[in-house]
Amino acid sequence: MGIFAPMSVRPHHHTPDRDEINTLPPFERLGMEQIVQVDDEKGARAAAQALAAHPVWGFDTESKPTFVRDQASDGPHVVQLATERQAWVFQLHDAACRALVADLLAHPGHVKVGFGLGDDHKRIVSKLGVQPAGVLDLNHVFRQLGYRKDIGVRAAVAVMFGQCFAKSKKAATSNWAARQLSPAQLVYAANDAWAAARVHAALAAAGSMPVLPTTPQSV
């Protein structure tokens, strides 16, 4: 289990740093067979139907990097939603797909959990014209548990599972506005949302989460 045991009664208040995290055994990631790429209305409707059965979704977004100082991003270009077993990576080129993603994010009956969602929120409001509802930034939960700074998904996985969540810098800074995403991009995006869903489930199992809806509502 490594140097960080799963949380049971009290959390470990030390936030592991990069070097500590890198010594841990790897955190198993979703493979391509568990990732659904969505880029049109038909796919978005199928994804919404599958997600409706789950009250909590792991949530993240990706935007094409900007390399010019003060250049504003026109992202997000990708939105990821995940359950504990599967992830959907939504591309936002298609207007109908984009509208359905906006509906999913604005629906208050499902909780969307992730890390560091402030910029994601602003970009979604700007690009999709909706206020995301039911969003829970897990950084705030860890702060309430005694962690003094934003913990992030890698440190959260280390604390909760004693494992190292690998993230590719090359994928992180790739072109998320591309029409065709690479397998590496899909795996990177899906696992960010999936890891958040897994951390949330572990926090809930440890009795460290606020009360959340237990009855899924249609979307």
Q: Is the pTM of this model over 0.75?
A: yes
CA atoms within 13 A on the CB side of 110: 27
Per-residue pLDDT of the chain (219 residues; tens, 9 = 90+): 333 444 443 445 788 999 999 999 999 999 999 999 999 999 999 999 999 999 999 999 999 987 666 666 777 999 999 999 999 999 999 999 999 999 999 999 999 999 998 888 899 999 999 999 999 999 999 988 888 788 999 999 999 999 999 999 999 999 999 999 999 999 999 999 999 999 999 999 988 775 544 444 444
The residues, any chain, with a CB within 8 Å of residue 134's CB and separated by 6 or more, are: 107, 108, 109, 110, 111, 112
Considering only the C-alpha atoms of the chain, give the largest distance between any 2 of them, rounded to a whole number of Å.
47
| Cα gap 153→10, rounded to integer Å | 19
* Domains of the chain with bracketed CATH: 18-63+74-205 (3.30.420.10)
